[in-house]
Structure 1
Amino acid sequence: MDANQSLRIVAVVNQKGGVGKSTIAIQLAATLSRRCRVLVVDVDPQQSSVWWAGNARAGLPFDFAGRQHPNVLVRLRELHATYGVVLVDTPRMLEDTKPVETVLDAADFAIVPLTPEPLAVEPTIRTITTLIEPRHVRHAVVLNRIDPRIPTQLSTWQALLDFTWGIPRFDTHLRQYKTHADAPVLGQVVTTLRDNRSTAGVIADVTRLGHELSGMLEPAPVGSW
């Protein structure tokens, strides 16, 4: 992804809570900051990203807007000379989907985190079929919290996405590591972690996801979306 390209707004979305939206938004922002200037916008009333950023103090390699009303995204196109990517951390949706609809109306791409648990399936599919697809927003699921100790877990969930549900996904997945759970409390991101035996997997996963997302944010071929 060229830093001179126009602004890309990326929404991290799922109607289900607890699937890792804030973790993915913050960690992706950190790794993408190596390639362009990045802004994170938090529209989630729970303010998980705000709390994380507060714990990091001045240690974040990207700009953070704090909690904002979704309507602010309408004006973000004016920032194209300043930012290459804006990542939007969105709330879970119970009955009121309007804030997320507003975000998706402005988004160029949607990342849909999915954890390998049955209760996450229905909300994830509903998010895609009722909110993302009708808006023709390019999107992909990222499998999150994959347990490396379960040999068939990754292949099973990849097959479900590919063949059972027919949902686009990232080739990259994020494995379950204690470092991810500790990072918000410690205010750490992949660019500030010491690269050692306990952090190498986290750094590698997020870096790969950042590279793959950058490729997906390139202009779509004519006739596709």
Structure 2
Amino acid sequence: MHVDRAIPSTAIDPGGLKIISLANQKGGMGKTTVTMQLAAALSRRHRVLVVDVDPQQSTVWWAENAERHLPFDFAGRQQPSVLSRLSLLAGEYDFVIVDTPGSLEDTRILEVVVDASDFVIVPLAPEPLAVEPTMRTIQRLIEPRGTRFAVLLNRIDPRVHGQLDTWKELLDVTLGVPRLDAYLRQYKAQADAPVLGRLVTTVRDNRSTQGAIWDVTLLGLEVTEQLSPQLQGAW
């Protein structure tokens, strides 16, 4: 993970259950896609539970389309208060991934989720109008709580020359916020995944899917290394 500004080293227990939330008050940044695909990648070697506290229930719709092919446990729509009880599941799961609302109206939900999280992933698509609400999410909701976080560049278009480097420099130099080294490129396989109920663990590895599979796999590896180094060897 690339960090130009120190991340608070508060209480990441090297063992036990880790709660990872996806948060950004700007909608359309891909929180649900990252939630579901990251959970699938982690489930290759770890015990994973997905919790949805977003009233839109996008992960619920995806899970229903997947029918019985989910490689992780899925709790469906839950009230944010359930997060305070997740520590009781420490013997059953290694990771809990939480999908959250993407709107200014749901600030209280995000506050509860961030308070309960060990790590927050802030997805950011390369859209100039997304920068201000993303920074507002970080500065008003995440940083004051001292919760570890990092921005994940999402929907990077591999056909646009220099796009990735431009946005890396924006985060690293101009804004000075923590950034994951992993990033997700924009592929048709990812765009079609929710309606088809597909995950990186359920699609064939071929020319049309291998880029998306590779990106999500690298994300899973980096998240594991950041939060549970003792589990890294399980990959």
TM interval, short-chain normalised? over 0.9
**1:66-145 pair list within 5 angstroms:** 66-145=76-155
2:37 to 27, 30, 36: 27
Q: Offset at 1:95?
A: 3.0
Using structure 1 for the length normalisation, give the TM-score.
Answer: 0.94
3-state SS of paired residue (1:184) = helix
Shift of 1:21: 0.1
CA distance in 2, matches of 1:196, 1:172: 21
Q: Secondary structure at the match of 1:65?
A: strand
Structure with the bigger RCO (C-alpha within 8 Å, sep 6+) is: 2
Residue aligning to 1:9: 19
Distance 1:131 1:169 in 2: 17
1:211 maps to 221
* 1:35 CA drift (Å): 1.7
Partner residue, 1:176: 186
Q: Give the 3-state SS of the residue equivalent to 1:124 in structure 2.
A: helix
> What SS does the corresponding residue of 2:120 show, helix, strand or coil?
strand
CA RMSD, Structure 1 to Structure 2 (Å): 1.1
Find out whether 1:200 has 2:213 as its counterpart: no
**TM-score normalised by L of structure 2:** 0.90
- How far off its partner does 1:75 sit? 0.3
Shift of 1:178: 0.6
Which contiguous aligned blocks of 4+ residues in structure 1 show a shift greater than 4 angstroms?
none
In the alignment, what sits opposite 1:156?
A: 166
Q: In 2, Cα distance between the equivalents of 1:205 and 1:151?
A: 18
Q: CA shift at 1:218, angstroms?
A: 3.1
1:38 pairs with 2:48: yes
Counterpart residue identity of residue 181, structure 1:
A
1:149-177 deviation digits (Å, cap 9, x = unpaired)? 11110000000000000000011110000
Report percent identity of matched pairs: 65
Give the number of aligned pairs.
216
The separation in 2 between residues aligned to 1:106 and 1:173, in whole angstroms, is 25
Which consecutive residues of structure 2, in runs of 5 or more, have no partner in the other structure? 1-13, 230-235
Q: How far did residue 5 of structure 1 move?
A: 3.0
- Partners of 1:96 and 1:55 lie apart in 2 by 26
Question: What CA distance in whole angstroms lies between the structure 2 residues aligned with 1:37 and 1:212?
Answer: 17
- Match of 2:179, SS state, is coil
Task: Return the alpha-carbon distance in structure 1 between the equivalents of residues 105 and 47 of structure 2.
Answer: 35
Tell me the SS of whatever aligns to 2:104: coil
